[in-house]
Amino acid sequence: MKRIIAIVAGGDSSELPVSLRSAEGIYSFIDKEKYELYIVEMQGLRWEVRLPDGMAPVDRNDFSFTHDGAKVKFDFAYITIHGTPGENGLLQGYFDMIHVPYSCCGVLPAALTFNKFACNQYLKGFGIRVSESLMLRRGFEILDEEVIGKVGLPCFIKPNLGGSSFGVSKVKTAEDIQPAIEKAFEEADEVMIEAFMQGTEVTCGCYKTKKKEVVFPITEVVTKNEFFDYSAKYNGESDEITPARIPDDVAERIQLLTSAIYDILGCYGIIRADYIITEGNKINLLEVNTTPGMTAASFIPQQVRAAGMDIKDVMTDIIEDKFRS
């Protein structure tokens, strides 16, 4: 009998359309001979499952739905919500309480990695290089001189909680600091102000199960824009080169570091860590993504192909691992 899999998408942030595209990608990747697949859309209190004849409500008491008079209960949830509630631990806590296994890391690593400033400061304590940064909460103000004195110019000002480069600005002048802060606050209640690092941007995916550890080849990101913004990510305004054009020893160090970060944070499923390689081949962590994009053109599927692996087998690995004793 096939396991019944929910691909959980949507969410309550600007990343909702990105999440729905990832859901379509994951739907295409998972082995339909082994699993019965449904896409579940969540937005606020609207939890609905896509069916051939329309949408049906999901019962939040046990994560099930009713179709043609029969109750269908999900065996596994593949979470691909970018943003709240799927990337920050809220949904993970729900699934823990009702004992439904899921595809990504648990409550604490999800909440920690979703908070970019907290995650970077935590990992800094393990000797991992990160840029100088400040965190600002809604209702508090910061002077332009304080920003310049701490992180310098240019700098990045972005929502501390969020992704897909929504609300992110690269700031080059003092006059642009406050408008950039206001723009970031439109996306989240906390803003991160981060020093600019000149170098080569790369990203590395990783997943581990009870039987194996896989660290994927590294992708180099060459954007045609001022930085790797939304258009660069989703409108083809960047070149993504896998494997990255970096020395072998640097690539190996990045892969080892990604594996170490995975273990330090206690991750599960596929993660992606983004880095800047600065002068002298110094490796600087940008952020850790525990629910990376999963369209056919996303980084992780690219890296899976470059590794000579089949994405279908990777999906099966992650799902079946939760049912191994």
The CATH label, of 3.30.70.270, 3.30.1490.20, 3.40.50.720, 3.40.50.150, for the domain at 133-195 is 3.30.1490.20
Is the pLDDT confidence value at 229 over 60?
A: no
Identify the residue with better confidence: 29 or 234.
29
232: pLDDT confidence band, cut at 50, 70 and 90? very low
Could you tell me the strand order of the sheet in which 46-51 lies? 54-57, 46-51, 35-43, 3-10, 76-79
Q: Are 300 and 203 in contact, with CB atoms under 8 Å apart?
A: no
Average pLDDT over residues 121-144: 96
The CATH label, of 3.40.630.10, 3.30.470.20, 3.40.190.10, 3.30.360.10, for the domain at 111-129+197-321 is 3.30.470.20
Is the pLDDT confidence value at 164 over 80?
A: no
pLDDT 10s digits, 246-274: 999 999 999 999 999 999 999 999 999 99
14: pLDDT confidence band, cut at 50, 70 and 90? confident
Residue 235: predicted pLDDT: 52
280: pLDDT confidence band, cut at 50, 70 and 90? very high
Q: Would you say the pTM of this structure is higher than 0.75?
A: yes
Average pLDDT over residues 31-54: 97
323: pLDDT confidence band, cut at 50, 70 and 90? very high
Is the pLDDT confidence value at 225 over 80?
A: no
237: pLDDT confidence band, cut at 50, 70 and 90? low
Average pLDDT over residues 238-242: 90
Is the pLDDT confidence value at 108 over 60?
A: yes
Average pLDDT over residues 27-47: 97
Average pLDDT over residues 306-312: 98
| CATH 1.10.3720.10 corresponds to the domain 3-103 | no
236: pLDDT confidence band, cut at 50, 70 and 90? low
Domain edges within the chain: 3-103, 111-129+197-321, 133-195
